[in-house]
Amino acid sequence: MKQHRVDREGLVQVYEHCPRRPYVELVVPSDCAEVTTAVFITLSRDQGRRWADDSISNTWFEVALRRPKGRTDVSTIRIQHNRAGNPEFFEFKTRWDVQESGRRLQTWLWLLRPGDVIQIVPKAVYTAWVNIIQSASIEIEYRERDAAELVPSPASSTDQIAPFYSPLDYNAQQIRVLVVDSGELGEEIQARFEHISLEGDSATHNAFHALSYCWGESTERFNITIRLGDRESVLPVSPTVKRAICRLRKPNEQLRIWIDAVCINQDDLEERANQVALMGQIYSRAEEVHVWLDEEMLALDESLRLIRDVYNCNHRVCPGGDQCVCSGTKHILTTDELDSIIEETKSPTFGYVYGVFGRHRETPYFDSVSVEVSGGEGNINLAYFVENFFHHPWFQRVWVVQEAILAPKTTVHSATEAVGWDEVLLLNEITSSLEFNSSAANLRMRTSMPSVWKTLVHDQGALDGTPPLTILQVFLAALDMKATDPRDKLFALLPFGRETGQGKDIPPALRPDYGKPLARVLADFTRWWIAEYQSLDILSLIHRQPARAWRRTLCDKDPAVSAPVASPTWAVGIEGYAQWSNMTLGERFPSCFRACGGRRPDQALLASSKGLDLSLRGWRLGTIIALGYPPRELVYAYTGEIDDGSSLNVVFHRMFDPSGRTGEWMLLGNNHDLGKEDLYMLQRILDGHRYGHYGYLSTPEQLQEVLRPVEGEGGEIRVERCQSNGLPSCVEKCYFVTSDGRCGLCPWTAKEGDVVTILQGGKVPYLLRPLEKTSPGELDKYALVSECFVEGVMAGVSLEDGTDRSEVFVLS
């Protein structure tokens, strides 16, 4: 066994409105085969006083997991609360063990993979509660990979696979269907391939089903027998596919089913791209889509039983109990029991889900594993149970969105249960509501599917004449999703876009092409959007990436804090959070800014841009000569309307949200609705936030350097600096002064020397960073750093002087 440990010391105060930021992180080593124990140690306290009704501190710590490819499919787990109202630092130690801990914690450890980032995240909620951390550490013990495990698995052999796959007729929109012989559960799988066309009514006469599932990471393979004319061969498939086929086939009837990993020759890039373009049609024309959640998730069967009874309580489709004759999962609760729940509840709050959950807890189906998943004896909480279900990896995979939504009929399966897709959507509708998530028991929990599900279900069913979503809107809504091939985070969503949907020719720049590297796919997408919509708004969307957001939510030791941004710096990326798409200047202040004066991008320059470069015409306003914090009076000068973007103080509050008006930087939203509050109320909340950082314990290092630009006698600009505690210490340097005396606000990624520009097609100014030349005679190139707010130029006034001072900037 090997050990790996990370420690951090340093005083940090966390208030309710601080951004969610890990205090310490540990990266699972590359030679890890299996984590056997994890130990979490914190030295902390709260504000040192409590109120009469507070028996437990509203400050605590969570263990979270961040995976390299987007939203994690592993639950965040609360490990400990501080001692309520105790001013003394206290060391808490929590140990998880794959042998001794409960199933929920065992599963958490089993799911760890090399490269995963384990985090300790300090939390606080409710006014005046402060989590004060002095130090923390994470230590894991793991089994090292042996030599055999370190050798990469051999790639699939084209020579081995090719005999199974005779060529498809692309012009006829042909696909392969796997025709599986009838058989009992444990019998060997025998099948053959059949080509069918999706053109016209051909698919209607060749009915087939389709499978939606997670590919998984297992390298284990099982052979199924494939008949090839008068001979037989074996085709290796994953354990997930094997179990799904065994469960779905019937004893006396063939199963005709389309399975992507089996029916597409994955080694043929041309075929793969062709079939990906047909995915929307495949799933929309399938007679039924089977969502296979497999057999390994804790309490999965009971989750589907709960979902079925919640739906029946709201829609009364079955008498339930012994009288239930429905296919799939049986309705456990009878009509009388449902009537009793409704009578006890008095109102349909949360779709009676609490009442149904309470009755299920009294049945023998709700076993010890269900109890543990729900929080354990004495702490059972519906939100834990629901969170466990919606954290299933299937809900996070980008391909399954079209597979479930476009299908005429979708059924969700576990090992023994099956429910309709509409039933799952009802639970999601209930648990994603603001009211459900604002209740104290459910605060800060992820109790629903990723937001793209709700967005696209509404978009597909809209009957009010609302235009369909653009492909960019769909892409942003799905940022939380994951894909084995990162290019699929665009390709899998093409059927939903207004410009790329079914029945439309996909623009050449967006057509699935697995010969393109990811960087080129994203560059072509961004460049196409700029040309199509005559706007640079898409450039601001770099700010929904954690390493490039307006506020820092990364741990101090996160490599992304100091790592250079990958090229192309100007292209929209695949990482980030969907809700952060709203945290740009253009989204926070719609129709307020027109820095370029309404000028459109130079189409000739766009057309000449190739590869990973983007050429844009614009104006150089100056260079950042100082970065620090704004004077107190600038952000406390509470005047003007709350949605007016002309004043620096309003922009500061809307973008950095130190008063928790939206709660966006906390990632799970805010339990307060401050949307109608005036600026004076926000000032009072900000004062409380600031006191949370400096009112109990603080260090000189937490003081902030305030900047005041001063014009010298000769007209030169100099900057006066002083120390202050006017803003909460969780706010990063965000105030800049330029070489020509301008002032503004910027994200934490800005640096002295960055160039402030206004680009044609841009409603807001952008910061560019000069890049070093790699060869003599090379053109000057720039990295896109961020958008920014500059006082006095947001309306484009500075460009209306009759002088053409424009130049071409090549972004790389």
What are the tens digits of pLDDT across the range 33-64?
A: 999 999 999 999 999 888 766 678 999 999 99
* Residue 152 pLDDT exceeds 70: no
d(CA 258, CA 611): 36
- Domain contains 91: yes
* Residue 496 pLDDT exceeds 80: yes
442, with CB counted inside 10 A (0-12, 13-18, 19+), is: buried
Number of domains in the chain: 2
- Domain contains 209: no
Last residue of a domain, one of 98, 132, 150: 150
**What pLDDT was estimated at residue 201?**
65
* CA–CA distances in Å: residue 157 to residues 154, 163, 264, 305, 723: 8, 11, 14, 43, 65
Q: Are 549 and 746 in contact (CB under 8 A)?
A: no
* Residue 93 pLDDT exceeds 60: yes
* Residue 674 pLDDT exceeds 50: no
Q: Are 115 and 58 in contact (CB under 8 A)?
A: no
d(CA 592, CA 590): 6
Domain housing 90? 2-150
* Residue 440 pLDDT exceeds 80: no
**What pLDDT was estimated at residue 366?**
94
Work out the angle between the directed axes of helices 679-694 and 648-656 (0-180°, nearest 10). Answer: 60
* Residue 303 pLDDT exceeds 90: yes
Which residue did the predictor score with more confidence, 366 or 773?
Answer: 366
Q: At 477, is the pLDDT very low, low, confident or very high (cuts 50, 70, 90)?
A: very high
- Domain contains 715: yes
**What pLDDT was estimated at residue 185?**
85
Q: At 671, is the pLDDT very low, low, confident or very high (cuts 50, 70, 90)?
A: very low
Domain harbouring 146, CATH code? 2.60.120
What are the tens digits of pLDDT across the range 684-703?
A: 888 899 999 998 877 777 88
H helix or E strand, kind and range, residue 174: strand 174-180
Biggest alpha carbon–alpha carbon distance for the chain? 96
- Domain contains 766: yes
* CA–CA distances in Å: residue 689 to residues 86, 207, 696: 20, 62, 12
* Residue 607 pLDDT exceeds 80: yes
CA dihedral sign, ordered 518, 398, 493, 587: negative
| Minimum mean pLDDT range among 12-21, 295-304, 351-360, 454-463 | 454-463
Percent residues over pLDDT 70 in the chain:
90
Last residue of a domain, one of 150, 174, 198: 150
- Domain contains 803: yes
Average pLDDT (396-412) is 93
**What pLDDT was estimated at residue 148?**
60
**What pLDDT was estimated at residue 676?**
46
H helix or E strand, kind and range, residue 260: helix 260-263
- Domain contains 107: yes
Strand 614-628 and strand 735-738: the pairing is antiparallel
Which residue did the predictor score with more confidence, 769 or 165?
Answer: 769
DSSP letter string over 46-110? --S---TT-SS-SEEEEEEEEBTTBS-SS--EEEEEPPTT--S-EEEEEEEETTTS-HHHHHHHH
Amino acid at the residue 482: K
* Residue 800 pLDDT exceeds 80: no
* Residue 763 pLDDT exceeds 50: yes
Q: Are 458 and 449 in contact (CB under 8 A)?
A: no
**What pLDDT was estimated at residue 567?**
86
* Residue 231 pLDDT exceeds 80: yes
* Residue 154 pLDDT exceeds 50: no
Average pLDDT (162-173) is 84
* 3-state SS class at 323: helix
What are the tens digits of pLDDT across the range 234-249?
A: 899 999 999 999 999 9
- Domain contains 678: yes
* Residue 224 pLDDT exceeds 80: yes
619, with CB counted inside 10 A (0-12, 13-18, 19+), is: buried
- Domain contains 712: yes
Last residue of a domain, one of 101, 118, 150: 150
Residue with tokens 């926000």: 682
* Residue 332 pLDDT exceeds 90: yes
- Helix H segments across 316-420? 335-345, 353-360, 368-373, 382-390, 399-405
Selection from 587-591, 632-636, 695-699 with the highest mean pLDDT: 587-591
Q: At 316, is the pLDDT very low, low, confident or very high (cuts 50, 70, 90)?
A: very high
Percent residues over pLDDT 90 in the chain:
61
Q: At 602, is the pLDDT very low, low, confident or very high (cuts 50, 70, 90)?
A: very high
d(CA 755, CA 622): 6
**What pLDDT was estimated at residue 636?**
73
Cβ contacts of 60 within 8 Å, gap of 6 or more:
78, 79, 80, 81, 82, 122, 123, 124, 131
* Residue 675 pLDDT exceeds 50: no
- What average pLDDT does the structure give for the chain? 88
